[in-house]
Homo-oligomer: A and B are copies of this chain.
Amino acid sequence: MASKITQPAVRPKDDITNRLIGAFNRLISQGVLRPGTKLPPEREMAPRFGVSRSSLRHALKALENMGILYQRVGDGTYLRESSEGILSRPLELLILLDGISASELLETRLIVEPELAARAAERATSPDLDSLNRTIREMHKERDQQKLTELDIAFHQGIFVASGNRLSQRIFPIIQRAMLKSIAITSTLVDADHTLSFHKPIYDAIYKRRPAEARQKMIDHLEDARGLLAKAGERAQPTSLLDSFQSIG
């Protein structure tokens, strides 16, 4: 009886696996290992680190799962090109485990995106504006439902980028992706013109460098989306990578 009341300890253990993971992280962050690098074969690396192949593999598996690198049988181990994606698995998992609903996700966007739109109005570069404008123009002539959804998402991503806040560029696209299914469903309730009638004023405000206006127009847009979501009856569950896993259980 009397199991540990001690909390699990958030800090990583000091076992070989974690030390290897730390070693890789340091090597990468120090620039010793550049993104895209092909690492030596496991059978070579293991002795070089002074560990067994299995221990090394534990670490590599964890790193692969974190999105730091990927392995291909018969080929080798490669560092991923960007740190983008490191967050997606854990964040989607968190959303899944906590059972966070689409409306909660939308609320989070409502907290963040208006302010990001305002920042975008202050800082957007020419390429940023071009990119935003392009999604709008393409949306005009696009008919395919799925591509329209992609363009919708691209517009918002464009604002994340234009806001100039790198952390936001990493975090919030994932939240948006997580409600992909919801976006798809709600967008069947309206046509592209409806979406455009919200995107355009946002773009205009950003283009004209009017932060307050951009903020408000984004609020209008997301509040409208909230209405649509309610109408859709929350049928949609959060999308997750995890759905794709097989049996075994």
Which residues from chain A sit less than 8 Å from chain B, CB to CB? 3-4, 7-14, 16-23, 25-29, 38, 49-51, 54, 57-59, 61-62, 64-68, 70-72, 75, 78, 80-81, 83, 85-91, 93-100, 104-105, 107-108, 111-112, 114-116, 119, 163, 165-168, 170-171, 175, 241-242, 244-249
Contact = CB atoms under 8 A, between A and B. Distances in A.
A58 B53 CA distance: 12
Contacts of A12: 65, 89, 241, 244-245
A22 B87 contact: no
Copies of this subunit: 2
Contacts of A4: 72, 75
Given A18-B245, A22-B242, A62-B62, A81 B8 contact: yes
Most buried by B among A75, A166, A241: A166
B170 A94 contact: yes
Nearest to A32: B249
A171 B67 CA distance: 19
20 contacts: A11-B241, A13-B64, A14-B246, A17-B61, A23-B245, A23-B248, A26-B242, A26-B249, A29-B97, A66-B89, A83-B94, A87-B90, A87-B94, A90-B90, A94-B170, A95-B167, A107-B165, A111-B115, A112-B115, A115-B115
Contacts of A9: 70
Contacts of A81: 7-8
Nearest to A105: B167
